[in-house]
Structure 1
């Protein structure tokens, strides 16, 4: 099974922390929709032997598209690809785009999963992050969305300066009170060249603290697990049967095609990425050219990716698979490098599967980098 990701590179305004590719100008939106549809058709041969299981609209803010535009792009996927009977079709959306009328319309479309960018239920947090919605809109959209959609995910950000442990608990509890079955939660990260980075440098916003983020993460894990959520990936929690099929496919190394500017693709051996420039992307597709760069992954690249994704998920890293797929040299290297983390109770091995312990979960990315195989 495979997936198709469609990148919608438009936002009403720029969130201070975001370093994804997007434009706040909607001038090229009509042209963009047409070339996205064209790229979908141009790349059909890449999936001639594949069946599409998931379609995911990411961004940017995909909910800035009209329902007609979204349905048009979905129909283009069906026109050119083999699609399973009930695919997971996700739309990332912001609360300010999800009026009661819009939600009702979406519920009648092929979209069957909403991923809503709440981030926080506190007004001060939303203003600091320069979100386009307010707290009342966040709650109202969830109130309406849960009437029509069963499969909903929401995003929450922790480690925000000034967000106390009690406030963070209340953020999580508010999400739980709406009966949401999936939560994605990330630490506030200061990316270079973002507005947040400049605001911190000029002293207008305090720098996020690692110990605060670590504590918030522990609270998150504890509260969600007590409420029946499975911590199936470092930043993702889902009730049974509500894991994101799209994201799980990435972590399990399945194939996917990324449509749109800056979108990434993976076929098991090669990784590709489209140009991150709306004008150049549109021009190339209009000229029947795919503006994509590719790289063939080495054995070490594939090993490192498996270590990174495996340690982040409940499926862990299979030592048997390491030996079978990468060879004894890589297995011996992994066993040697992991010794200090096993000794410090940050990693454990059970049934030949290497996983982070509860103590090691928040440190997963750093641990993974120490287990990477570096070419000599």
Structure 2
């Protein structure tokens, strides 16, 4: 643990703040994020979040905050007054840009007409709605708190009040056919949202989903079908003018997530709350993954954070991993400038195998994945990592 002096080095430039809200109504079967279904400590935790923001303000003393992102968990469980308290804490302790992107992750069952109206009158200007599927069978399999009707109703109302909306969809769900997946996409497109995030259902260890699959209660995820559904999604959204700017994200022009884009481009961010991660370019930190321990530490003016200083090789590997997921790719010029010719030569040598397989290509001094290689980008990136530490 660190005392109240900021643990990460101070920075200059532009950055973001992520606020983790570790509460949910119920546990989704596939989720391995940190959360609690008990709200007993909610008031104490919100006070601790506001205090952590104050304790860490020196880290961003010469930095302009361009994005504020409420993630979780389920941030929409907080009242507007509670959200406003945390937004006020950011403005009180940090330099904030004139028109920051302020995103709230929300579940459909929390987005009543009244709640949407309240949010529309708040500083929050972007909603990320966890739809996941418009089919009751999928929602029950995943143990989502909302139903099909709530998913559709909240979108029909939210799109009247918010211009900047993203919705989440999950593909590769056991038992969900390609035809059903196509219907999911068409329903989503019917609401004219400008951004869609979509992820393959992943079986994480120690989740209920993993247990059900091991016991034969639910059939295992079919990777081949997930691959097919990824391409169905990509082709259909691009037909509608969406830009596939990151492996799991599609946005209309002008509607890319500024928060997520900053992460993929290696910009710094402070993560506030239990289990939240922070990054400043050379150091990575992560808070304790326990609500009670987090609250107790903050109450004693201690920051419950562990810090890792990244080696040159770590920084290179991280840049390769994030860069290959995006349309911007990996800049060979940046690799040479930041890491040296040895790293650039190594990258090109390793990449040649995948270039010959038509999974990677070089254009305008940028290494990018081909359409064929997109679904495999994380695996390809790991093959380009440099293993020796420096």
What is the rounded CA distance, in whole Å, between the counterparts of 1:112 and 1:310 in structure 2? 27
State the Cα deviation string for residues 179-237 of structure 1 (Å, max 9, x = none).
01000000000000000000000000000011000000000100000000000000000
What is the rounded CA distance, in whole Å, between the counterparts of 2:210 and 2:372 in structure 1? 30
User: Which portions of structure 1, spanning 4 or more consecutive aligned residues, are displaced by more than 2 angstroms?
Assistant: none
For 2:47, what is the secondary structure of its paired residue? helix
State the Cα deviation string for residues 24-59 of structure 1 (Å, max 9, x = none).
000000100000000010100000000000000000
What is the rounded CA distance, in whole Å, between the counterparts of 2:364 and 2:101 in structure 1? 31
Equivalent in the alignment of 1:326: 339
Equivalent in the alignment of 2:21: 8
Equivalent in the alignment of 1:316: 329
Give the superposition deviation at 1:332.
Answer: 1.1
Give the superposition deviation at 1:352.
Answer: 1.0
What is the rounded CA distance, in whole Å, between the counterparts of 2:198 and 2:338 in structure 1? 32
State the Cα deviation string for residues 73-100 of structure 1 (Å, max 9, x = none).
0001000100011100000000000000
What is the rounded CA distance, in whole Å, between the counterparts of 1:74 and 1:323 in structure 2? 40
Equivalent in the alignment of 2:108: 95
1:337 partnered with 2:347: no
Equivalent in the alignment of 1:364: 377
What is the rounded CA distance, in whole Å, between the counterparts of 2:317 and 2:156 in structure 1? 42
Equivalent in the alignment of 2:310: 297
1:242 partnered with 2:255: yes
User: Of residues 160, 166, 169 in structure 2, which corresponds to 1:153?
Assistant: 166
Equivalent in the alignment of 2:320: 307
For 2:198, what is the secondary structure of its paired residue? strand
State the Cα deviation string for residues 301-328 of structure 1 (Å, max 9, x = none).
0000000000000000011111111111
Equivalent in the alignment of 1:273: 286
1:142 partnered with 2:135: no
What is the rounded CA distance, in whole Å, between the counterparts of 1:295 and 1:139 in structure 2? 43
Q: TM-score, normalised by structure 2?
A: 0.96
Instruction: Tell me how large the CA RMSD over aligned residues is.
Output: 0.6
For 1:39, what is the secondary structure of its paired residue? helix
Q: TM-score, normalised by structure 1?
A: 0.99
1:193 partnered with 2:206: yes
What is the rounded CA distance, in whole Å, between the counterparts of 1:110 and 1:325 in structure 2? 38
1:51 partnered with 2:51: no
What is the rounded CA distance, in whole Å, between the counterparts of 1:27 and 1:159 in structure 2? 35
